[in-house]
Amino acid sequence: MSEPGDVAYFGGEFLPLDQARLPITTHAFNYGTGCFEGIRAYWNREQERLYVTRLREHALRILRSARILRLEPDPALTVERFSELVLELLARNGFEQDAYVRPIIYKAGHTIKVTLSGIPAELCMYAIPMGDYLDIHKGLRLATSSWRRIDDIAIPARAKPTGAYLNAALAADEARQQGCDEALMLTADGHVAEASSANLFAVIDGTLVTPPVSDDLLVGVTRDSVIAMARERGWPLEVRQLDRSEVLAADEAFLCGTGVQIAPVVEIDRRPLGDGHPGPITSELQGWYLRVVRGEVPDFAAWRSAVPTTAGATS
């Protein structure tokens, strides 16, 4: 067996990761014409099984992104086929630890032309070991970014275009230059959108509040999970516009996303939230979510897809 993380899917086949290479003439490299997903898989030590979190939802989102962006992959790439490829990739890599899958649908043609139509698209993906993307236990410090979240009428917010993440990188880098962990991004009209690459929830007087997707934020799979879990607990929940000052005065806040998982926010713009420590609602949600995705509790079993123990079992 190869070393964990050494197998990729590229050009319609599984092959060693170091053989998955693109020519510099590739359209996606020149113009950012691609979309991607981030998918997590969690290792359950007791069961010795790897579980992929909400695989179907990620499959739906990347195919919808491709449709919005006119990437037009092979019609045979259905939700079911995409899901099979993800499970096969993880099985071939033989992970016995938490892992992350990065699939990309991209314009694979070789032409110098600013266009989308008529250029073939392909799927590639790779997988790597991944633990916590950020320190999700101590609490994060955020800084409001001078870079605004890209408006949906400029680049589609309901897709995950590769090129658009320069906006997120500029905001995140600015925040880290200020000694913070992440950026808080606002819409063009000054409402709270999300972090650079994660959705945001605030806890205000015991109510979970998150911005609507119409405020230029990504329709997050983990955001949807949090909403479902809050409703299961019977907690008050509002999806509405959020002002920056509301978040600064919130009792708690947290980020959620495939990368950050559920990460408490303890400070924004040098102002502590609550007592400056992760709040009780955030902590309960975080612990519950991590048990769910690892298969340690029976809750939300439909969110978990078990990786076959042998490669080829999905085909």
Cβ atoms of 245 and 269 within 8 Å: the answer is no
Using CA atoms, how far apart are residues 253 and 249, in angstroms rounded to an integer? 10
Amino acid at 129: P
pLDDT at res. 313: 55
Q: Which of 106, 56, 50 is nearest to 81 (CA)?
A: 56
Cβ atoms of 139 and 16 within 8 Å: the answer is no
CA distances from 27 to 113, 159, 164 (A): 8, 19, 15
pLDDT at res. 3: 59
pLDDT at res. 109: 96
Using CA atoms, how far apart are residues 258 and 103, in angstroms rounded to an integer? 13
Number of Cβ within a 10 Å radius of residue 51? 22
Indicate the pTM of the whole model: 0.94
pLDDT at res. 4: 63
**What domains can be seen in the chain, in order of their start residue?**
7-131 (3.30.470.10), 140-293 (3.20.10.10)
Query: 288: which residues sit within 8 A by CB, 6+ positions away?
Result: 229, 297, 299
pLDDT at res. 307: 98
CA distances from 105 to 97, 121, 137, 179 (A): 26, 7, 33, 34
Query: 75: which residues sit within 8 A by CB, 6+ positions away?
Result: none
Cβ atoms of 242 and 187 within 8 Å: the answer is no
Q: Please, which contacts does 152-155 make with residues 24 or more away whose CB atoms are closer than 8 Å?
A: 152/216
Using CA atoms, how far apart are residues 150 and 216, in angstroms rounded to an integer? 7
Residues of the chain with pLDDT under 50: 1-2, 315
Query: 124: which residues sit within 8 A by CB, 6+ positions away?
Result: 8, 9, 10, 11, 20, 103, 104, 106
pLDDT at res. 181: 97
What secondary structure, in 3-state letters, does the chain show?
A: CCCCCCEEEECCEEEEHHHCCCCCCCHHHHHCCEEECCEEEEEECCCCEEEEECHHHHHHHHHHHHHHCCCCCCCCCCHHHHHHHHHHHHHHHCCCCCEEEEEEEEECCCCCCCCCCCCCEEEEEEEEECCCCCCCCCCEEEEECCCCCCCCCCCCCCCCECCCHHHHHHHHHHHHHCCCCEEEEECCCCEEEEECCCEEEEEECCEEEECCHHHCCCCCHHHHHHHHHHHHHCCCEEECCCEHHHHHCCCEEEEEECCCEEEEEEEECCEECCCCCCCHHHHHHHHHHHHHHCCCCCCCHHHEEECCCCCCCCC
- Residue range 21-56, pLDDT digits in tens: 999 999 999 999 999 999 999 999 999 999 999 999
